[in-house]
Each structure stands twice: as C-alpha cells, then as structure tokens.
Structure 1
C-alpha cells in the first residue's frame, strides 16, 4: 500500500511539473481586460462614453423618462401668474393645524426667511435694515393664503428665490403655517 501511495505521489508531482507554463507556447487569456486593465490618466478626456446621441456619456446620469426620484411629491401648479392665482385660490395645507410643530416651523423660518422678512414678519430683516434688499413687504400689508405662501416658497417671486431645494414639501408647509401665525399677530 505504501508503495502504491509513493507511485501515485510521484506521478502527481510529475504531472503538475509538466503542466506548468511553457515559454514556447503562451497561455491563453480568455478575458484579457480582467488581467491587464486599460490605464486612463486621471481627469483626461476619454471616448469610452461617447454615444451616438452626442451627450458624451451623460445619458448614464439622466433619469429614465417617466420616473421621479424617491420621496418626490409632484406639485401641479405651474410657475406662472395663473399658477400663483390658482394656488392662492384653491391650495390647502395637508398638515393638520392642531399637530403642526410650531417650534420646528419657527426654526426653519428663522433660518431661511427671517434674514429678509424679519423675525416678526414685518419686512425688516437684517438684510433690509442694512439696505442690501429693499421693498421686502410686511405680511400685514399682503393678501396671502396658504396656497400663495407655499407657491412663493416653492418657486420664488420677484427678488425672492425658490427654497424648494433647501426645504422639502413638509418643511415648506411648516413655514407656511408659521407665516400665517405671524400674519395673524401683526
């Protein structure tokens, strides 16, 4: 039995030594890019993403037609005067007035709005008192509704820019509730 094991071991050793790489006949690489990747210079132009559409590889960054990002809620009123008037007339807050977190609403207002509109909503924020912006109206002087406030926060109006990128839809409704509270106190 020992002799048989020795013969099998020696035979296995000879087979493994004879099957090693032969310099006269190179081994095959079935997927050469897996073994030797193409080196690209950092930040250099590459034609790897050229496409017949002429977008230079940007089509991989574009969303598929008909899709929306996760958590996005569509807003059906357009950024026009007619859209503003329609929102002013018919748009209502989905938040329950009894459960609105006024502390968070005030924090958001103080961060994004008070710098121009003032802490009391009187149009005398820090930028107005320093004469960086002029003509910021007081909420007392305006005919505003939930819909008009939300629409202006979403799209902006005159020299006020949109805050849709900074505030999600729920936060914009919170700020709307706080602006209405300030208007009632003026």
Structure 2
C-alpha cells in the first residue's frame, strides 16, 4: 500500500515538472542569462520577456522604434529590384546570351563611358581576385594556386547578357553575386567585362 502511494507521489512529481508549452517555460532559474537585455537588431528596444519594464531613452532608437538606425538617404535597398530594366522571368542562359545591348543605356540613360568607369571599380573589388585585372584569368587566387580553370574573356563566346546571367545566377565554380551587387551594378560589371574582352 505504501509503495502504491509512493509511486503515485513520484508520478505526480514528474507530471508537475512537465511543461508542454516550450515557448513559455514554467520556471526560469537564471532569467538575466536566459532573457538578455542586449538589443536584437531591428527590434523595439523596450521588448522584454515578463521582466520589469525598463524605459530606455535613447534618442536615435526611440524615433524609429528600432535598435538600429535607418539607412543613409540615397542608398539602395538590397531588396529593391530594378525589374523594369529587362524582363527576366522564365528566361535562361541562352535567352540572356541573345542580349547584346546594355539596358542601362535605354532605361537609365547612362552613358557607356560612365557605365564602364563605374563597372571597372566594381570589377576590381569583386572580380579581379579570380579573373585578373585584365580579364585574362590570372587573378591573385590563380597565381597562388588556390583556384584553377578561370577563363580568359578573349577566348570565350560571351555577350553582355550572358555575363549578366552568370554574375546573377552563377555558373560552374562561380557563385551568384546578387548579395554583393544590385541589378544596375551587375550590368555595369558586365559592360566592363565586355570592354576587357574587346580591348
């Protein structure tokens, strides 16, 4: 009889200690470590987990109700798309290879010289380490034998559209550069690659 009561007592203890909603734990032994007072990016600085509410008065944060500042005026959002430049939906590499004119000249009215000049800066930062400063496939990584098989642009049958496609989606060993370059900058780099090919 005593064993039965002991078993029931132990079972009640275990059931009492179980808590099925893991998002709201029953007991937190060290709340200061479990719920950090540190700011989470883009969050409201007054956000708390059942803690005593502290009103934090920081002029930069209180205006936008966020723990980070707004982007500088005139900067380009990475989420913003320049989809009016060219319709890319359901198009593959071969479709892009038929594009021989830079859409920046049509839609943005950007002059070719400006596009090449801006494309050169972007190319030196993002591409020359592998492809070389002159597009000959002899970048620093190739010279140090860290990567192989980088082609010379002059040996390739490429168009501005095919270059744009590869920079956007990647091909073979090359990854996509969408997270590094927005759409306009990818067209500028493509223009500069064609400039190196025809140089």
**TM-score per shorter chain, which class?**
0.5 to 0.7
Distance in 2 of aligned mates of 1:89 and 1:77: 15
1:30 corresponds to: none
Q: How do 1:118-133 residues align onto structure 2 when only pairs under 5 Å count? A: 118-133=132-147
CA contact (8 A) 1:124 1:136 kept: yes
2:88 corresponds to: 76
Q: How do 1:1-186 residues align onto structure 2 when only pairs under 5 Å count? A: 41-42=34-35, 71-74=80-83, 76-77=88-89, 83-90=92-99, 92-96=101-105, 97-98=111-112, 100-185=114-199
Summarize the Cα distance change of 1:109–1:84 in structure 2 as closer, same or farther, 3 Å threshold: same
Distance in 1 of aligned mates of 2:79 and 2:119: 24
Distance in 2 of aligned mates of 1:104 and 1:182: 14
**Which one has the largest radius of gyration?**
1
Distance in 1 of aligned mates of 2:118 and 2:82: 21
Q: Deviation of residue 94 (structure 1)?
A: 1.2
Structure 1 unmatched runs, 5+: 1-38, 47-68
Distance in 2 of aligned mates of 1:180 and 1:102: 9
Q: Deviation of residue 152 (structure 1)?
A: 0.4
Structure 1 stretches of 4+ moved >6 Å: none
Q: Provide the aligned length of Structure 1 versus Structure 2.
A: 120
Distance in 1 of aligned mates of 2:177 and 2:79: 19
**Other structure's SS at 1:165 match:** coil
Distance in 2 of aligned mates of 1:77 and 1:116: 30
Structure 2 unmatched runs, 5+: 1-30, 37-48, 50-77, 106-110
CA contact (8 A) 2:115 2:191 kept: no
| Root mean square deviation of aligned Cα | 2.4
CA contact (8 A) 2:99 2:160 kept: no
1:59 corresponds to: none
